[in-house]
């Protein structure tokens, strides 16, 4: 833990922590033999830093610990230490708006032990890099164009979507389907034709002024939880229940939520044009309120930039 | 491409190639931000080297290329170059028995491009490390103890099992089920109760002298293809068809096949003791013939160790 923010240029692209060591992001690498990569035996979380403050940091730390417990991953770092490590990555990078990731990897069974994950030493990595938009601000302005992918989402019985994971083969295939059809992004259905989620975001539909978001097959999004809070503030009704694709395709409005993007309106869905090809009124109100409250310090934990503050 | 086998100690643990550079395996790392890791957006293959020769190298190269094409991954290396790279990794390591892996990773969209896999530059990695047994020779001698995992295999509709991938969350969960129940390993079923595969191996049952192996939900194993060839030689009948779990649990014998282990007999299945707790006669004949033919140079491509040969 000997890196300092003095060598700022080395940290310009971001700062990272790997199993006890801080380093520039460009040097942050994991062994090619690690099961975290070779078996995608890893969980992660991502917290946003906006205008120098974490958003819902404790919620992310809590979810990350629950994910690790679920997969029987136990790094040596405590939650308090992880909090410090994330802060240190942001401080070293000097970034005021950052995408901050934390991973816990399985590692690999040491020589002489059976080739079983129970014998591996798990370890933590983290990094802060310049803020990433899942959907760019320009696209958000006009509304995202979404397709319903043909590939079904990996079933919950096989991979629990509440445990944040890198099993993205189906989502990547959906992204190529969107690309081939000239759309920006995709949403996946489960085997029963119910809406689940998209690559890195939760999904909402609006019909007759009421919101619906799926009750299963999707990550328990922290931005989703924020949208639910904002519904109360806006006097909007929201139902968390199964969302059949037929109902979804017939919605008045659709929007998406994610850490790396907040509330993101959709203006085209499977070629259908919504709201005269613009973000809908409720999606827009939700998005505006989300960012207005963020600017007011809602659920914010200011980053202690220490001597590196500018 | 400037590494030489002269510095043998650096390569004692294995040798690797990452996107144009050879290096000791211990230095072989991939960026923590790469989608090959962060989205498990990668395919791979593994070929064995035994007694200084690759086994079915062309079959592995062909399958690897088919996997890459399926995922729209296109590294700059041709098949002839990949063949040279694998050989060079083995030569640098000096290993006579080696586990030789090749991966093609998505990479990451460059700055300024949309955050979409279509814009990433894909690249190749490879490494040779000392031979790994999926099931140790001691366990193979007594026969492996297998459980049928409760977690279902990820459905083919979501992730194509014919394209070798690191979506192993379900298999890892199955390995922990086996561990908790005192068994060595596990096999997974599909949603309809049909046998699929285990973590890194294909599955065979034997009943009334006839073999069955599943026709879907599993990798198109190259060792499996070898077993089919050996069936002809041994005058054994083999059916490639759906294998219901009830039939599987009632088998006279069960064995497994994989690159990193060959033919591996099972002596306990869900607590049931098979063949007086020993490898069964047909499994044993199959295993013996497999290794006898390997020793005779069956499907072998000798490694050119050049000056590094010892």
Answer for the pair B144, B256: CB distance below 8 angstroms, yes or no.
yes
Average pLDDT over residues B134-146: 93
Query: Residues A91, A167: one domain?
Result: no
Share of chain B above pLDDT 70, in %: 96
A-chain residues near B25 (CB < 8 A): 32-33
Answer for the pair A214, A197: CB distance below 8 angstroms, yes or no.
yes
Alpha-carbon distance of B218 to B132, in angstroms, equals 21
Tell me the C-alpha to C-alpha distance, in Å, between residue A44 and each of A28, A74, A219, B105, B148. 16, 13, 12, 20, 29
Q: What is the CATH number of the domain that holds A101?
A: 3.30.470.10
> Hey, is the C-beta of A117 within 8 angstroms of any chain B C-beta?
yes
Whether residues B129 and A33 touch (CB distance < 8 A) is answered with yes
Given A75, A98, A132, the domain boundary residue is: A132
Alpha-carbon distance of B256 to B202, in angstroms, equals 6
Residue A76 is predicted with a pLDDT of 98
Grade residue B306 by pLDDT with cuts at 50, 70 and 90: confident
Average pLDDT, chain A: 95
Query: Residues B122, B141: one domain?
Result: no
Parallel, antiparallel or unpaired: strands A53-55 and A300-302:
antiparallel
Answer for the pair B175, A117: CB distance below 8 angstroms, yes or no.
yes
pLDDT in tens, A58-84: 999 999 999 999 999 999 999 999 999
Alpha-carbon distance of A214 to B150, in angstroms, equals 26
By residue range, what is the domain housing residue A63?
Answer: 8-132
Answer for the pair A203, A258: CB distance below 8 angstroms, yes or no.
no
- Establish if A304 belongs to a structural domain: no
- The neighbour count for residue A118, using CB atoms within 10 Å, is 14
Residue B269, both tokens: 């299945």
Average pLDDT over residues A205-217: 96
Answer for the pair A143, A255: CB distance below 8 angstroms, yes or no.
no
Whether residues B40 and A72 touch (CB distance < 8 A) is answered with no
Decide if pLDDT at A295 tops 80.
Answer: yes
Weakest-pLDDT range from A48-57, B2-11, B83-92, B102-111: B2-11
Alpha-carbon distance of A42 to A114, in angstroms, equals 20
Whether residues A159 and B154 touch (CB distance < 8 A) is answered with yes
Decide if pLDDT at A308 tops 50.
Answer: no
Average pLDDT over residues B166-171: 98
Residue B9 is predicted with a pLDDT of 82
Average pLDDT, chain B: 95
Mark which residues 58-87 of B lie under 8 Å from A by CB.
Answer: 71-72
> Hey, is the C-beta of A159 within 8 angstroms of any chain B C-beta?
yes
Decide if pLDDT at A309 tops 50.
Answer: no
SS3 B218: coil
Q: What is the CATH number of the domain that holds B267?
A: 3.20.10.10
- What DSSP designation does A255 have? E
Q: Is the dihedral of CA A293, A296, A299, A300 positive or negative?
A: positive
- Establish if B310 belongs to a structural domain: no
- What DSSP designation does B201 have? B
Query: Residues B164, B250: one domain?
Result: yes
Grade residue B112 by pLDDT with cuts at 50, 70 and 90: confident
- Establish if A307 belongs to a structural domain: no
Whether residues B103 and A32 touch (CB distance < 8 A) is answered with yes
Residue B271 is predicted with a pLDDT of 87
pLDDT higher at B5 or A214:
A214
Question: How many Cα atoms are found within 13 Å in the side-chain-facing hemisphere of B102?
Answer: 28
- Establish if A1 belongs to a structural domain: no
Alpha-carbon distance of A278 to A265, in angstroms, equals 8
Query: Residues B32, B155: one domain?
Result: no
Residue A111 is predicted with a pLDDT of 86
Grade residue B4 by pLDDT with cuts at 50, 70 and 90: low
Query: Residues B260, B196: one domain?
Result: yes
Weakest-pLDDT range from A128-137, A186-195, A234-243: A128-137
Whether residues A152 and B175 touch (CB distance < 8 A) is answered with no
A-chain residues near B16 (CB < 8 A): 32
Residue B64, both tokens: 């690897």
- Establish if A105 belongs to a structural domain: yes
Query: Residues A169, A275: one domain?
Result: yes
> Hey, is the C-beta of A165 within 8 angstroms of any chain B C-beta?
yes
Decide if pLDDT at A281 tops 80.
Answer: yes
B86: which residues sit within 8 A by CB, 6+ positions away? B47, B54, B57, B100, B102, B126, B128
pLDDT higher at A309 or A31:
A31
- Establish if B1 belongs to a structural domain: no
Query: Residues B276, B144: one domain?
Result: yes
Query: Residues A242, A283: one domain?
Result: yes
Average pLDDT over residues B285-296: 96
Answer for the pair A17, A125: CB distance below 8 angstroms, yes or no.
yes
Grade residue A306 by pLDDT with cuts at 50, 70 and 90: confident
Q: What angle do CA A261, A267, A268 make, to 5 degrees?
A: 115
Query: Residues B111, B198: one domain?
Result: no
Interface mutation target, options B13, B25, B33, chain A, most CBs of A under 10 Å: B33
Residue A153 is predicted with a pLDDT of 98
Residue for token digits 């924020």? A226
Decide if pLDDT at A5 tops 70.
Answer: no
Answer for the pair B207, B252: CB distance below 8 angstroms, yes or no.
yes
Grade residue B3 by pLDDT with cuts at 50, 70 and 90: low
Query: Residues A270, A290: one domain?
Result: yes
> Hey, is the C-beta of B111 within 8 angstroms of any chain A C-beta?
no
Query: Residues B144, B255: one domain?
Result: yes
Residue A9 is predicted with a pLDDT of 82
State the total domains in chain B: 2
Shortest alpha-carbon distance between residue A293 and chain B (Å): 27
Tell me the C-alpha to C-alpha distance, in Å, between residue B218 and each of A191, B9, B56. 20, 39, 19
- Establish if A3 belongs to a structural domain: no
A-chain residues near B157 (CB < 8 A): 151-152, 191
Answer for the pair B7, B27: CB distance below 8 angstroms, yes or no.
no
Residue B246 is predicted with a pLDDT of 97
Decide if pLDDT at A293 tops 70.
Answer: yes
- CA torsion, points A204, A208, A209, A210, in degrees to nearest 10? -50
ipTM of the complex: 0.95
Alpha-carbon distance of B183 to B144, in angstroms, equals 8
Residue A67 is predicted with a pLDDT of 98
pLDDT in tens, A161-177: 999 999 999 999 999 99
Decide if pLDDT at B309 tops 60.
Answer: no
Decide if pLDDT at B228 tops 70.
Answer: yes
- What DSSP designation does A152 have? P
Decide if pLDDT at B1 tops 50.
Answer: no
- Establish if A274 belongs to a structural domain: yes
Helix ranges, chain B (H): 35-38, 57-70, 79-93, 137-142, 169-180, 222-234, 245-249, 281-295
> Hey, is the C-beta of A89 within 8 angstroms of any chain B C-beta?
no
Grade residue B7 by pLDDT with cuts at 50, 70 and 90: low
Residue A307 is predicted with a pLDDT of 62
Given B83, B105, B131, the domain boundary residue is: B131
A-chain residues near B171 (CB < 8 A): 39
Given A99, A132, A165, the domain boundary residue is: A132
Query: Residues A28, A100: one domain?
Result: yes
> Hey, is the C-beta of A25 within 8 angstroms of any chain B C-beta?
yes
Share of chain A above pLDDT 70, in %: 96
């Amino acid at each position: 833990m000997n890196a300092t923010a003095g060598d700022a240029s080395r940290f310009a692209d971001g700062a990272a922590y790997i199993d006890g060591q801080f380093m520039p992001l460009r040097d942050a690498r994991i062994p090619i033999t690690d099961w975290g990569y070779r078996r995608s035996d890893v969980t992660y979380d991502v917290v946003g830093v906006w205008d120098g403050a974490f958003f819902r940091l404790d919620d992310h730390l809590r979810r990350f610990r629950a994910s690790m417990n679920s997969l029987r991953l136990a790094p040596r770092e405590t939650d308090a230490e992880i909090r410090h490590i994330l802060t240190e990555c942001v401080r070293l990078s000097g970034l005021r708006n950052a995408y901050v990731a934390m991973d816990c990897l399985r590692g690999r069974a040491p020589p002489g032990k059976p080739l079983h994950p129970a014998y591996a030493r798990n370890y933590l990595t983290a990094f802060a890099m310049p803020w990433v938009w899942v959907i760019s601000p320009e696209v958000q302005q006009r509304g995202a164009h979404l397709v319903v992918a043909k590939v079904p989402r990996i079933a919950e019985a096989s991979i629990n979507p509440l445990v944040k994971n890198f099993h993205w083969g189906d989502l990547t295939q959906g992204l190529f389907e969107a690309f081939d059809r000239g759309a920006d992004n995709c949403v996946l259905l489960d085997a029963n034709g119910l809406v689940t989620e998209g690559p890195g975001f939760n999904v909402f539909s609006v019909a007759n002024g009421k919101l619906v978001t799926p009750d299963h097959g999707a990550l328990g999004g922290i931005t989703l939880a924020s949208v639910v809070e904002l519904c109360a503030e806006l006097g909007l009704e929201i139902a968390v229940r199964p969302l059949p694709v037929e109902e979804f395709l017939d919605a008045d409005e659709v929007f998406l939520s994610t850490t790396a993007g907040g509330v993101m309106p959709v203006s085209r869905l499977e070629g259908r044009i919504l709201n005269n090809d613009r973000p809908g009124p409720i999606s827009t109100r939700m998005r505006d309120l989300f960012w207005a409250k963020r600017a007011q310090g809602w659920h914010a934990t200011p980053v202690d930039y220490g001597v590196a503050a500018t």
